[in-house]
């Protein structure tokens, strides 16, 4: 794929001719990014922060002039920079020509020359904002390595040649997780700011309607995924004296959401192969006080939902799914969240879809929905409809504990645009996870978690590393090579607050946890990144 101009697909490192300037108004790359076009002799050229990058940091990339007004020079950092150039200069042999370039090498800066009067736009596919070196730090004395126009191409703005990276520094940081936003999200936020109503307004209603259409049943939005779990547990009637079955291997948010209602989280063991909650172990922990089970869709997979449903029927339990990792996935041909009792999703900054912060609860239970709608607005009854229209209740009643958990219109505006991009971003996550599997599955010590990436849209990519190793030493070594890693998650029953959550041992959890390592996964990771990560990981384990 490449860019789209005049409804034509233009592959990277290729060109088309006969394009007018008006046809450049909507140039997009295959990630849906509209490139911000600048003219090389325009005053905006030196205000490079006005160009759109997938991650903009002032001063991260600077422009400078060496030949006065005759030629513009840029230093492009290592990583992949996608660039579109449009030449409509009078007398130019290539007038009306659009060229799409993919530039950058993992060990170099590229110095680019742009003739005056040429239009150009950038996207930064693999930025390294913390490690960029300003242009002033690059060599520019006679004899330096410098890009030269490619004569044989007949195009005066195709560049070659490199300047070496600073020694001793990683080439760039491949982040573990990150937000992946574009100009559509920025425009949506600006529209809300221009409307000067930032609280829970019409955008929240629109986002809820879009989610309801997506899931095929009602959704209610809240401020974050933890709030979604908390309100779901509360709306399902749990409180002091009640117990909820939940895997110990989950983020502390799952436990906090339960204990916030006064109920007790009961730590359960996992299946050591999949790291999903083991429903058989959970059943051994059922008591007369047990009111619900909370399966956690770890990494985006779902485990044995039929087993949990059967467990719930046998003991009269609610099933509240912690689906924070699983948006976009399917189970038995149906979307995660489109079936079952209650499902809770997260839209925080690094999830499969982000709204900055945010979450939602999806259920067919009208009573649960109504209770959550009121509880998110401090328990003010029937205030939701007024908030959707920019109003609020001045005379009201409160009959149950509520919280300030509503979603803002700014958050919903981001979420609406992100939801449109979910098919594309989900496919990228699945493709990258398959690349990891293919590269790592034959290593004698590395065990990828078994997932079907035809149905699972992974939020994170976790492996088990067996044999003698020191996790923190390995993580430090990988970071020195520019690879950020994580640990998902420290078991909750070892935390001071929840040490009494496990009445029975958790042997699988305690065996598996020391083996876990999370590798970078998000839509801005490339297949080349995956190859580099796997090569470095395997080399370090071999050493």
Give the pLDDT of residue 386: 83
**What is the C-alpha separation between 191 and 2, in angstroms, rounded?**
29
Which among 136, 164, 192 is the end of a domain? 164
Task: Report which of 372, 368, 390 is spatially closest to residue 380, judged by C-alpha positions.
Answer: 372
Cα angle at 436 between 429 and 34, to 5 degrees? 35
pTM of the predicted structure, to 2 decimals: 0.71
Do 281 and 371 lie in one domain? The reply is: yes
Query: Is 226 inside a domain boundary?
Result: yes
Task: Report which of 246, 283, 292 is spatially closest to residue 501, judged by C-alpha positions.
Answer: 246
**What is the C-alpha separation between 30 and 49, in angstroms, rounded?**
23
Residue in the structure block whose two tokens are 């809300």: 192
Q: Show which residues are catalytic.
A: 351
Do 391 and 464 lie in one domain? The reply is: no
Q: Encoding tokens for residue 278? A: 């083991």
Which among 399, 417, 435 is the end of a domain? 417
CATH of the domain at 238: 3.40.640.10
Query: Is 230 inside a domain boundary?
Result: yes
**What is the C-alpha separation between 374 and 382, in angstroms, rounded?**
6
Contact between 346 and 411 (Cβ < 8 Å):
no
Query: Is 175 inside a domain boundary?
Result: no
Do 136 and 73 lie in one domain? The reply is: yes
Query: Is 171 inside a domain boundary?
Result: no
Do 339 and 254 lie in one domain? The reply is: yes
Give the pLDDT of residue 395: 85
Do 518 and 470 lie in one domain? The reply is: yes
Domains held by the chain: number: 3
Query: Is 177 inside a domain boundary?
Result: no
Which among 132, 164, 196 is the end of a domain? 164
Do 157 and 252 lie in one domain? The reply is: no
Do 217 and 70 lie in one domain? The reply is: no
Buried b (16+ CB within 10 A) or exposed e, 382-407: ebbebbbeeeeeeeeeeeeebbebbb
Residue 43 CB contacts under 8 Å (≥ 6 apart), including other chains: none
Do 427 and 290 lie in one domain? The reply is: no
Query: Is 170 inside a domain boundary?
Result: no
Per-residue pLDDT tens digits of the chain, which is 543 residues long: 455 555 556 666 666 666 665 565 455 555 444 455 555 554 433 333 223 222 222 222 323 222 222 333 344 444 455 666 666 666 665 667 776 666 554 444 444 555 666 666 655 554 433 222 223 333 333 333 333 333 322 322 222 222 222 334 455 789 999 999 999 999 999 999 999 889 898 999 999 999 999 999 999 999 999 999 999 999 999 999 999 999 999 999 999 999 999 999 999 999 999 999 999 999 999 999 999 999 999 999 999 999 999 999 999 999 999 999 999 999 999 999 999 999 999 999 999 999 999 999 999 999 999 999 999 999 998 888 888 877 888 888 999 999 999 999 999 999 999 999 999 999 999 999 999 999 999 999 999 999 999 999 999 999 999 988 899 999 999 999 999 999 999 999 999 999 999 989 999 999 999 999 999 999 999 999 999 999 999 999 986
Do 385 and 454 lie in one domain? The reply is: no
Do 112 and 243 lie in one domain? The reply is: no
Give the pLDDT of residue 370: 95
Do 397 and 438 lie in one domain? The reply is: no
CATH of the domain at 432: 3.90.1150.10
Query: Is 34 inside a domain boundary?
Result: yes
| Domain span including residue 120 | 2-164
Do 221 and 115 lie in one domain? The reply is: no
Query: Is 172 inside a domain boundary?
Result: no
* Phi/psi at 83 (5° precision): -135, 140
């Amino acid at each position: 794929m490449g860019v789209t101009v005049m409804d034509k697909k233009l592959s990277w490192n290729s060109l088309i001719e006969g394009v007018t300037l008006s046809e450049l108004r909507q140039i997009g790359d295959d990630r849906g990014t509209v490139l911000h076009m600048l003219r090389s002799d325009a005053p905006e050229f030196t205000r490079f922060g006005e160009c759109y990058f997938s991650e903009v940091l002032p001063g991260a990339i600077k422009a400078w002039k060496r030949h006065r007004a005759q030629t513009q020079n840029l230093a492009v950092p290592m990583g992949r920079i996608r660039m579109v150039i449009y030449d409509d200069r009078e007398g130019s042999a290539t007038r009306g020509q659009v060229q799409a370039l993919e530039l950058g090498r993992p060990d170099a800066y590229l110095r680019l020359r742009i003739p005056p009067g040429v239009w150009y736009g950038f996207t930064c596919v693999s930025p390294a904002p913390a490690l960029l070196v300003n242009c002033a730090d690059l060599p520019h004395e006679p004899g330096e390595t410098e890009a030269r126009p490619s004569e044989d191409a007949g195009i005066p703005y195709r560049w070659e040649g490199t300047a070496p990276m600073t020694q001793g520094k990683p080439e760039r940081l491949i982040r573990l997780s990150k937000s992946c936003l574009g100009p559509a999200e920025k425009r949506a936020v600006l529209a809300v700011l221009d409307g000067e109503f930032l609280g829970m307004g019409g955008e929240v209603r629109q986002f809820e309607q879009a989610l309801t259409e997506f899931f095929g049943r009602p959704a209610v939005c809240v401020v974050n995924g933890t709030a979604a779990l908390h309100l779901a547990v509360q709306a399902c009637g749990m409180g002091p004296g009640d117990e909820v079955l939940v895997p110990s291997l989950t983020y502390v948010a799952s436990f906090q959401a339960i204990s916030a209602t006064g109920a007790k989280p009961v730590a359960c063991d996992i299946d050591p192969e999949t790291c999903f909650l083991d429903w058989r172990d959970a059943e051994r922990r059922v008591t007369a006080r047990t009111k619900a089970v909370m399966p956690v869709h770890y990494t985006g997979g779902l485990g044995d939902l039929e087993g949990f449903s059967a467990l719930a029927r046998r003991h009269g339990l609610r099933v509240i799914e912690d689906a924070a990792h699983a948006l976009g996935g399917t189970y038995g041909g149906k979307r995660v969240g489109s079936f079952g009792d209650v499902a809770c999703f997260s839209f925080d900054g690094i999830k499969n879809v982000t709204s900055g912060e945010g979450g939602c609860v999806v259920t067919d239970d009208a009573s649960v929905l109504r209770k959550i709608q009121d509880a998110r607005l401090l328990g003010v009854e029937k205030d939701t409809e007024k908030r959707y229209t920019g109003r609020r209740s001045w005379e009201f009643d409160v009959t149950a504990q509520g919280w300030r958990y509503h979603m803002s219109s700014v958050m919903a505006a981001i979420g609406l645009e992100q939801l449109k991009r979910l098919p594309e971003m989900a496919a990228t996550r699945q493709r990258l996870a398959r690349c990891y599997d293919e590269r790592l599955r034959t290593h004698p010590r590395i065990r990828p978690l078994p997932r079907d990436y035809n149905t699972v849209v992974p939020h994170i990519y976790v492996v088990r590393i067996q044999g003698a190793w020191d996790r923190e030493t390995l993580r430090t070594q990988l970071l020195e090579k520019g690879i950020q890693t994580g640990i998902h998650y420290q078991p909750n029953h070892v935390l001071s607050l929840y040490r009494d959550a496990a009445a029975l041992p958790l042997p699988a959890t305690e065996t598996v946890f020391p083996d876990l390592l999370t590798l970078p996964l998000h839509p801005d990771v490339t297949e080349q990144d995956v190859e580099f990560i796997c090569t470095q990981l395997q080399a370090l384990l071999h050493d």
